[in-house]
Structure 1
Amino acid sequence: MNKFFIMLAHTYLNRLKSKSFLITTGVTLLLIIGLANFETITERFTGKESDGNQQVAVIGEREGLQQPLQSYLDQQDSSIELAAFEGTKEEAEQAVKDGQYTAFIDIAETDGIPHANYYANQIANTSVSNQIREALQQVKVTIAAEQAEIDPQVYQQISAPVEFETVALEESAKTEEELSEARGLVYVMLFIMYFAVIMYGNMIAMEVATEKSSRVMEILISSASPVAQMFAKIFGIALLGLSQITLFMVVGYQAVKMNQDTMRDGVFDYFGLNNLEISLFVYLVVFFILGYLLYATLAAMLGSLVSRLEDAQQLIAPMTLVIVAAFMIAMFGLNAPDSGFVTVTSYIPFFTPMLMFLRVGMLDVPIWEVGLSIGILIATIVLLAVIGARIYSGGVLLYGKSSSLKDIKAALQLSKKE
């Protein structure tokens, strides 16, 4: 047992000090801080004031049109302020170039119907132009309705969106609002599970292949059993992942706390993270750990079959494709979580961590179904660990070019000779 912890600590510290791990961690932390302060950063670079108001000059036939335009913009809570510009088009262009205005619009009329040209230093950012276009469209429709002598109230009833509300008949079913919140959280968590499993699974396979390529494996075999080595690497990388994710969560929490108002009104509302259920986080932890153990055991087994780093990526490609398939099915299930296809595939062990978590987050799944899927997943992990330990025992003795799953048979034969 003492040798097991020595190898676990060696795996953990070796990866912790690696340049790739430090660079990846540093870049991710900068990304987290940048996303939390995104609005502040954009305001700093664009030179906007804290209120975010954007001045847009208006020239041309603006009489009777500027006020309705501004009214429609205000109804949409737009930060655009239209300002009458007393001057020529050339003077307006110069004012925009000098930074006095964000842009200017030249309004004209044809048979009483308004149209306009939009001028700005750069037109790649369409946020301002789209808002003005929509407001001008509303003004145009209003004028056209008046010319056709259509009652404004009648037109308003015609253009108003139809009232359509979805109501679940089952008492335990989630409401439309709860589904929207759950969908955002599940979407975020699926991405985290997807990238974490791929990253740490590949890390285990590369760790084994690296030791074999440097002939360190020959020394390790003489000092500890291959089974102890395999699980030492699995739990060592798991500890590394836990440390990394904990660091991300701590930094992310502090970044969100410093920008609580902005995040709550922006990202939190968009992804539905304002009202979270503790049970959903519990399921996330359970399925994340079980999913990691499943794929980590498989990655260690496959990594033991190769002795070169370039062969490792090729051999674990099928495992990566399975993870991608699970993720793609989960993306489909976000809009149809109760479909028979998603339900059936959620009991397939290699798909269970993502798909059953999806169903739990989106639907009211009976506890026995969740328990059954977890039981199948645990049984698969145990079976894979037993088979994987035998393959690992023989696989670490295989050297030379290896890029085929046929080497599993050779590894099993070598394990029987020990």
Structure 2
Amino acid sequence: MNKFWIVLWHTYTTKLKAKLFLITTIIMSLLVFTIANIQHIIEFFTKDEKTTVAVIDTTGAFYEPLAAQLKQEKHDDLQLKKVTGSEEKAKADVRAGKWDALLVLSADNEQLPEAAYYANTLADSDTPKEIEQALQQLKTALATAKLGLKQEQIAQLYEPVPFKKAALEKNAKTEEELNQARALVYVLLFAMYMFVFMYGGMISTEVATEKSSRVMEILVSSAPPIQQLFGKIFGIALLSLTQFAILFAVGFAALKSSGQELWKFLGFDHLPVSTFVYAIIFFFLGYFLYATLFAVLGSLVSRVEDVQQMIMPVTTLVIAAFMIAMFGLGAPESSFITATSFIPFFTPMIMFLRVGLLPVPVWEVALSLALLIVTIGLLAFFGSKVYRGGVLMYGKASSLKDMKKAVQLTKK
């Protein structure tokens, strides 16, 4: 066991001191800090910016109500400027940069407002959308006034239809809990997807690098393959947790300095603790499952350049699991989702998806966890044999058939 810790700490400290790790951690920390303060940053750069729209009101009756409607809706970044003269001159002023856009107001056959919007480009979709919404409100008010409807009748006409939703199952989540659970599930699924790709690939590359430098021949003779295999897996896992801890600390400090609470900012303040417990369990079991595969496949190649080709089957499994989970977000009760949640290679994502959104029976969760743990154990047993023989194989490895050759090599 002492040799396991030597491999673990060697893997951890080597990667921790690497320039690439330090640079990516700094960049990601800056990104987290920026996201946590994005609202303040946007306000800082846009507080003095206003979009000025020139308005030609051909009716003489719509400009004032429209300006009042925009003011009521608190579109402070949008400023209307009534102008006179021809449309061609106003369009020329827009092209020259005097105005950001031109709005021409007119009346239809029913004497209700209609408009034409002109700008140099239509890349800014917010401004015309805000104006269109305000004009729609103005048109509604004028149309109802023509019909002679009272204010109470107008309010009743636009009052939302009473529509109650209630779950009949005893432990079913409320709609608010479901919305928060979907957000958490999406975040965790994406994090697991990125985690496996980033750090799983790092394990494969680490094994291939040591093998290409012939250091592996010394290591494999001094430490049992199972200890060496899991020493690298746990070492990279510890490295990833270190990076996540740094990013979490940066995000927490940034949110606290801006006066926001972490769980409220993330929208997870109404989720039960069990959801987070399941998230941690499935997250790490999923990592160990795929990391074992990555390490085993990495031991079969002699050159770092061949790693991506060899681990392609595992990356395909991860992508498939992620795509199925994305489908499951909208249909978690589907029989297809239920069936795939018991397939060990999909369980970390799919079963967590079901647990997060549905009242899944305890026996189903226990069964999926048991299958997942047994699969990890079998992969570890078989993988240690492949690993021991694979690290001694040199030459080009291009297919999974090399596993058989690696196992045979361990028997010699």
Same fold (TM over 0.5): yes
After TM superposition, the structure 1 stretch with the greater mean CA deviation from structure 2, 79-88 or 389-398, is 79-88
Supply the distance in 1 between the matched residues of 2:206 and 2:336 (Cα, whole angstroms). Answer: 36
Q: Is the 8 A contact 1:209 1:309 kept in 2?
A: yes
What does 1:397-412 align with in structure 2 at a 5 Å threshold?
A: 397-412=392-407
Match of 1:301 among 280, 296, 301: 296
Q: Is the 8 A contact 2:344 2:375 kept in 1?
A: yes
Aligned position for 2:44: 44
What does 1:157-176 align with in structure 2 at a 5 Å threshold?
A: 161-176=160-175
Are the structure 2 counterparts of residues 197 and 18 from structure 1 closer, same or farther at C-alpha, using a change threshold of 3 Å? same
Q: Deviations over 1:327-376 (max 9, x none)?
A: 11111111111111111111111111111111111111122221221111
What does 1:114-129 align with in structure 2 at a 5 Å threshold?
A: 114-119=113-118, 123-129=122-128
Are the structure 2 counterparts of residues 247 and 368 from structure 1 closer, same or farther at C-alpha, using a change threshold of 3 Å? same
Supply the distance in 1 between the matched residues of 2:261 and 2:378 (Cα, whole angstroms). Answer: 48
Supply the distance in 1 between the matched residues of 2:134 and 2:378 (Cα, whole angstroms). Answer: 64
Aligned position for 1:232: 231
Aligned position for 1:341: 336
Supply the distance in 1 between the matched residues of 2:96 and 2:275 (Cα, whole angstroms). Answer: 52
Count of residues in Structure 1 that have an aligned counterpart in Structure 2: 408
Q: Deviations over 1:309-339 (max 9, x none)?
A: 1211111111011111111111111111111
Supply the distance in 2 between the matched residues of 1:249 and 1:368 (Cα, whole angstroms). Answer: 34
Are the structure 2 counterparts of residues 262 and 83 from structure 1 closer, same or farther at C-alpha, using a change threshold of 3 Å? farther
Q: Is the 8 A contact 1:182 1:272 kept in 2?
A: no
After TM superposition, the structure 1 stretch with the greater mean CA deviation from structure 2, 103-112 or 185-194, is 103-112
Q: Deviations over 1:65-107 (max 9, x none)?
A: 23443454466554455545365576898699888x7655332
Aligned position for 1:196: 195
- Name structure 2 gaps, 5 residues minimum: none
Are the structure 2 counterparts of residues 170 and 353 from structure 1 closer, same or farther at C-alpha, using a change threshold of 3 Å? same
The residue identity in structure 1 corresponding to 2:335 is G
Supply the distance in 2 between the matched residues of 1:171 and 1:262 (Cα, whole angstroms). Answer: 31
Q: Is the 8 A contact 1:204 1:233 kept in 2?
A: yes
Question: How far is the alpha carbon of 1:145 from its aligned partner?
Answer: 5.3
Aligned position for 2:281: 286
Q: Secondary structure of the equivalent of 1:106?
A: strand
The residue identity in structure 2 corresponding to 1:22 is L
Supply the distance in 2 between the matched residues of 1:261 and 1:74 (Cα, whole angstroms). Answer: 29
Question: How far is the alpha carbon of 1:260 from its aligned partner?
Answer: 3.9
Aligned position for 1:34: 34
Aligned position for 1:105: 103
Are the structure 2 counterparts of residues 92 and 254 from structure 1 closer, same or farther at C-alpha, using a change threshold of 3 Å? farther
Question: How far is the alpha carbon of 1:252 from its aligned partner?
Answer: 1.1
Supply the distance in 2 between the matched residues of 1:321 and 1:340 (Cα, whole angstroms). Answer: 23
Supply the distance in 2 between the matched residues of 1:329 and 1:357 (Cα, whole angstroms). Answer: 12
Aligned position for 2:14: 14
Aligned position for 1:131: 130
- Name structure 1 gaps, 5 residues minimum: none
The residue identity in structure 2 corresponding to 1:85 is K
After TM superposition, the structure 1 stretch with the greater mean CA deviation from structure 2, 228-237 or 214-223, is 214-223
Supply the distance in 1 between the matched residues of 2:185 and 2:149 (Cα, whole angstroms). Answer: 47
Supply the distance in 1 between the matched residues of 2:299 and 2:252 (Cα, whole angstroms). Answer: 38
Supply the distance in 2 between the matched residues of 1:233 and 1:401 (Cα, whole angstroms). Answer: 23
Q: Is the 8 A contact 1:96 1:104 kept in 2?
A: no
Identity %: 51
After TM superposition, the structure 1 stretch with the greater mean CA deviation from structure 2, 223-232 or 374-383, is 223-232
Q: TM-score, normalised by structure 2?
A: 0.88
Q: Is the 8 A contact 1:234 1:296 kept in 2?
A: yes
Supply the distance in 2 between the matched residues of 1:277 and 1:380 (Cα, whole angstroms). Answer: 29
Supply the distance in 2 between the matched residues of 1:273 and 1:199 (Cα, whole angstroms). Answer: 26
Aligned position for 1:272: 267
Supply the distance in 2 between the matched residues of 1:278 and 1:168 (Cα, whole angstroms). Answer: 21
Aligned position for 1:60: 57
Aligned position for 1:207: 206
1:325 equivalent in alignment to 2:320 = yes
Q: Secondary structure of the equivalent of 2:106?
A: strand
Supply the distance in 2 between the matched residues of 1:71 and 1:353 (Cα, whole angstroms). Answer: 54
Q: Deviations over 1:173-196 (max 9, x none)?
A: 112222111111111111111110
After TM superposition, the structure 1 stretch with the greater mean CA deviation from structure 2, 332-341 or 83-92, is 83-92
Q: Deviations over 1:259-311 (max 9, x none)?
A: 3449888xx3xx63343332221111111111111111111111111111121
Supply the distance in 2 between the matched residues of 1:247 and 1:326 (Cα, whole angstroms). Answer: 28
